[in-house]
Amino acid sequence: MGKSAGQAEAHRQAPGNQPKTARGEATRKAILGAAERVIGAKGYNDASIGHITSEAGVAQGTFYIYFKTKEEVFSELVLEMGRLVRHTIAEATQGIENRLDAEKAGLQAFLEFVRAHPDLYRIVQEALFVDPNAYHEYYVTFADGYCSGLSAAEKAGQISKGDVETRAWALMGIARALGEQLIIFKSEKSIGEIVDTAYDLIANGLKP
């Protein structure tokens, strides 16, 4: 929804080639979607261009009309995941005044997102090896936002005092581990149960 006038921004992308017609647009999207499924399922190295293009229903050469290299699609997927996750969480916590409540809602939204997009999740993990830069950007951007939120809450007296950066990483770590338990280790628990337990830990700690 958020209408960012024109696609000019792109910040620092190096597009192999942007499509100029509706037809091209559709093809590019098909390839991107196929890449997400195939790379998510088989991993970066076992996902060949051939696999991706055949999943997309186009010829192999078509791939290179829209992407300069295999790595480029991958990077784009990581970026997309970042945008999506941040957007999802922002939406889920919008308007929640209390930080602890926001923490809970955000965790819930994150876990639901992860369950809905297991492929994208794996792709981010693999970025550490395929595209460390994208991996960095993903987490640093996330951590920055987290830090600001915690700082504000601390100033407002909504949470106790403590180094926000370490806390941000610790909280991200909880979300990540629970997401992983869900999709990599196929936990049977409901997201609601997980969130309740985790929230209690985050809010009150382990002390009796």
Partner DNA sequence: ATGAAACATGAATACTGATTCATGTTTCAT
Partner DNA sequence: ATGAAACATGAATCAGTATTCATGTTTCAT
Out of DNA, its own copies, none, what residue 174 binds, judged by CB under 5 to 8 A for its kind, is its own copies
Which residue number, 127 or 202, has a Cβ lying nearer to DNA? 127
Amino acid at 196: D
Q: How far apart are CA 99 and CA 87, in angstroms?
A: 18
Judged by CB, which is closer to DNA: 65, or 174?
65
Number of residues that bind DNA (CB under 7 A): 28
Largest CA distance in the chain: 63
Q: Judged by CB under 7 A, does residue 60 bind DNA?
A: yes
Helix, strand, coil shares of the chain, percent, nearest 5, are 70, 0, 30
Q: Taking CB under 7 A as the rule, does residue 50 contact DNA?
A: yes
Q: Is 46 in the site for DNA (CB under 7 A)?
A: yes
Q: Is there binding between residue 193 and DNA (CB under 7 A)?
A: no
Rounded to a whole number of angstroms, the minimum distance from the CB of residue 135 to its own copies is 8
CA distance 190 to 108: 11
Contact 63, 49 (CB under 8 A): yes
Give CA angle at 141 (144, 4), nearest 5°: 115
Count of other CB atoms within 10 angstroms of residue 196: 13
Which SS3 state, helix, strand or coil, does residue 21 take?
A: coil
58 binds, among DNA, its own copies, none (CB under 5 to 8 A by kind): DNA
Q: Does 22 bind DNA (CB under 7 A)?
A: yes
Of 46 and 144, nearer to DNA (C-beta) is 46
Q: Decide: is 29 part of the binding site for DNA (CB under 7 A).
A: no
Binder among 11, 23, 186, 207 for DNA (CB under 7 A): 23
- What are the residues binding its own copies (CB under 8 A)? 43-45, 99-100, 103, 122, 125-126, 128-129, 135-136, 139-140, 157-160, 162-163, 165-167, 169-170, 172-178, 180-181, 184-185, 187, 189, 193-194, 197-198, 200-208
What's the start-to-end Cα distance of the chain, in Å? 46
Gyration radius from the chain CA atoms = 19
DSSP conformational letter for 67? -
Which residues contribute to the site for DNA (CB under 7 A)? 2, 17, 19-27, 45-50, 58-65, 69-71
